[in-house]
Amino acid sequence: MYWNPTGSEPSPPPSPSTPLSDSNAASSQSSQGDSVPSRPSPIRLYTDCYNTDAMLNADAEIRKKARVEGDDDDIEYAVLPLLLWSDATHLSSFRAASLWPIYLYFGNLSKYIRGRPTEFAAHHLAYIPELPDDLKDAYMEAYGQAPTADVLTFCKRELFNQVWLLLLDVSFKEIFEHGIKVMCGDGVVRRLFPRFFTYSADYPEKMLIAALKPLARCLCPRCLVTQTQVADAGTPRDERRRAQTRMDDHPLHDSISRAWRWIFEGHRMTSKRVKDHYELLAPDLMHEFELGVWKGIFTHLMRLLAAQGDDAVETFNSWMRRMPTFGRARIRKFWHDVASRKKLAARDYEAFLQTVMPAFEGLLPLCDNQMVGDLLFELANWHALAKLRLHTDVTLDIFRAATKTMYDAVRNFSSTTCARYATYELPKEAQARARRASKLSTMSSSTGPKRVRFNVPNTFKYHSLGDYPDWIERLGPTDNYTTQVGELEHRHIKQFYARTNKVGYAMQIARKQRKRAALRALRQHDTFTPLSETRRLDKDVKRAQAEARARAKPDTAEPDITSIYTGAV
């Protein structure tokens, strides 16, 4: 655990010609003149929560607070960063069972431990219940009509807020204000002040948390940019608009209270008098880029290949199947047709981005081929910078420049290459649209492909990519708050679901999770070592001893270096 925040500004070692003492500094300076190289300025590093601007500001805030009455002078005051994740997940492939958990991680813990589910670093705060089915019956009895989708969304938001009101009770508010004394693992008693740093969620859940309507006129939960202004991302005008962030102030609270009162006075959910604004939420690289912007661009590239004819699509699939592997399970073999995109995860689209450039070579006319190549390079470059686990001030400047060039490449692709072709839905997209239409209406609908245009530059996910450099500077690299951490933690609740009777499973999962946490705590204090662990430790000791003897044994003969070059050895 890291309790003391650091600026992480390592200074390079001084030059050998630099004077070592102050006594001879003047003489050395006069003798050497300007020949002595100056010491390089330190470089700021951004790696984890404990060396970010948010941590430094929170630590400075508690340092200004008066000490709690009764605390000894040797009691340290420290910040306890709280990192939150919440995401609904399906528990079974053949049932409607789902769970909406809220996970809590401590930012003082290394991100390399938080990112491993086997370390059990996640704390399961709550499992948000679903709206009961009899709610619709009660609504019809009270109002004489079925609840609309907006009414159910409002009820879901109210349920979510009530759960958080239970979590943020009076005792937590007292700890938040005055801290709590804890004996830490290093044996030092500290007074910890919990502070919320990030809340990671996908876009629909972000809008639910922020009490905003998804895909409304102002579609971003962090700033006040409108739908018609999203396509200007990366321009100086867009930078000025991003500065108009949403503020959680008293006028906002009054607006929310007034809108809440209007709803219960009979106004519709879609009334223009209902407007909500809320605080900022962390960006999400997995959903916003890998499963958002890049997935949308990749889908439209497949439409462009389909517009060239079936031969182009088959050639692309053939070249992707021949793509060699790389690393240990990093780039795997693409056995199935990539263009069909069947049951793909975020890691699959990430692998496509890293390998797709040579597969597109020569499949489009020369001018379009060059444009697509530039686009793919800028996307891969931006993605690589966004996934760096260590950033500096220099890499952040490079990242900001790469963000602008990436936006320019997408704009050029949209205005030139996409404008030359009439693109239609892929067969899979047309079938999915027909299925959705059949569920909504009994009228016959066209099942043929429908013409579609490139719409990625008009989405929130495309707009949000410009916020990443500032967020990294404030809260560290993206692996600190990516939703991939919460997705990995879903494995545990899915394992617990398999051990339930599938009826009232939420309470059973909660009990099993608490039981496992209690057993882990007991095992940490138990000195008993299982026989299998003892045998493994014995093998490790014997192996280490054998390696030490091999290193200590002198070589019997040292080969002549000249004989090596002459080929005698």
> pLDDT digit string (tens) for 206-218?
888 877 777 778 8
pLDDT at 78: 92
Given a contact cutoff of 8 angstroms between Cβ atoms, the answer to whether 248 and 278 are in contact is yes
DSSP conformation class of 235: S
Please, what sign has the CA dihedral across residues 555, 561, 563, 564? positive
Task: For the chain, give the longest Cα–Cα distance.
Answer: 99
Weakest mean pLDDT among 12-21, 392-401, 432-441? 12-21
Given a contact cutoff of 8 angstroms between Cβ atoms, the answer to whether 108 and 2 are in contact is yes
Percent of the chain with pLDDT over 90: 33
Please, what sign has the CA dihedral across residues 520, 522, 524, 527? negative
Given a contact cutoff of 8 angstroms between Cβ atoms, the answer to whether 97 and 502 are in contact is yes
| pLDDT value at 323 more than 70 | yes
pLDDT band at residue 26, thresholds of 50, 70 and 90?
very low
The secondary structure element, H or E, covering residue 495 is helix 484-497
pLDDT at 560: 53
pLDDT digits (tens, 9 = 90+) for 151-194: 888 888 889 989 999 998 999 999 999 999 999 888 889 999 99
pLDDT digits (tens, 9 = 90+) for 373-390: 999 999 999 999 999 999
pLDDT digits (tens, 9 = 90+) for 96-119: 889 999 999 999 999 999 989 988
Per-residue b or e along 374-411, where b marks 16 or more CB atoms closer than 10 Å to that residue's CB = ebbebbbbbbebbebeebbeebbebbeebbbebbebbb
What average pLDDT does this structure show over 412-431? 87
Measure Cα distances from 182 to 175, 178, 359 in Å.
Answer: 12, 13, 57
- Cα–Cα–Cα angle for 46, 51, 54, rounded to 5 degrees: 100
Amino acid letter for position 308: Q
pLDDT at 252: 59
C-alpha to C-alpha distance for 395 and 398, rounded to whole angstroms: 5
- What's the mean per-residue pLDDT of the chain? 82
pLDDT at 427: 79
pLDDT at 569: 42
What average pLDDT does this structure show over 255-265? 60
pLDDT at 480: 92
pLDDT at 398: 96
Distance of CA 296 to the CA centre of its chain: 18
pLDDT at 147: 87
pLDDT at 111: 92
Weakest mean pLDDT among 350-359, 474-483, 499-508, 528-537? 528-537
- Cα–Cα–Cα angle for 255, 258, 260, rounded to 5 degrees: 105
Measure Cα distances from 181 to 2, 467, 521 in Å.
Answer: 17, 37, 20
| pLDDT value at 467 more than 50 | yes
| pLDDT value at 443 more than 60 | no
Given a contact cutoff of 8 angstroms between Cβ atoms, the answer to whether 3 and 108 are in contact is yes
pLDDT at 14: 57
pLDDT at 181: 93
Going by C-alpha positions, the residue among 49, 537, 526 that lies closest to residue 282 is: 49
Per-residue b or e along 260-298, where b marks 16 or more CB atoms closer than 10 Å to that residue's CB = eeebeeeeeeeeeebbbbbebbbbbbbbbbbbbbbbbbb
C-alpha to C-alpha distance for 509 and 533, rounded to whole angstroms: 29
Residue 64 CB neighbour total at 10 angstroms: 6
pLDDT at 250: 61
The pTM assigned to this predicted structure is 0.80
Weakest mean pLDDT among 29-33, 37-41, 51-55? 29-33
Weakest mean pLDDT among 234-248, 343-357, 430-444, 555-569? 555-569
Q: What is the CA radius of gyration of the chain?
A: 29
Q: Phi-psi category of 346—alpha, beta or left, where left has phi over 0 and alpha has psi -120 to 50?
A: alpha
C-alpha to C-alpha distance for 528 and 11, rounded to whole angstroms: 46
What average pLDDT does this structure show over 131-158? 86
Residue 312 CB neighbour total at 10 angstroms: 19
| pLDDT value at 229 more than 60 | yes
DSSP conformation class of 480: G
C-alpha to C-alpha distance for 18 and 35, rounded to whole angstroms: 10
What average pLDDT does this structure show over 343-372? 90
Query: How many distinct helices (H) and strands (E) make up the chain?
Result: 23, 8
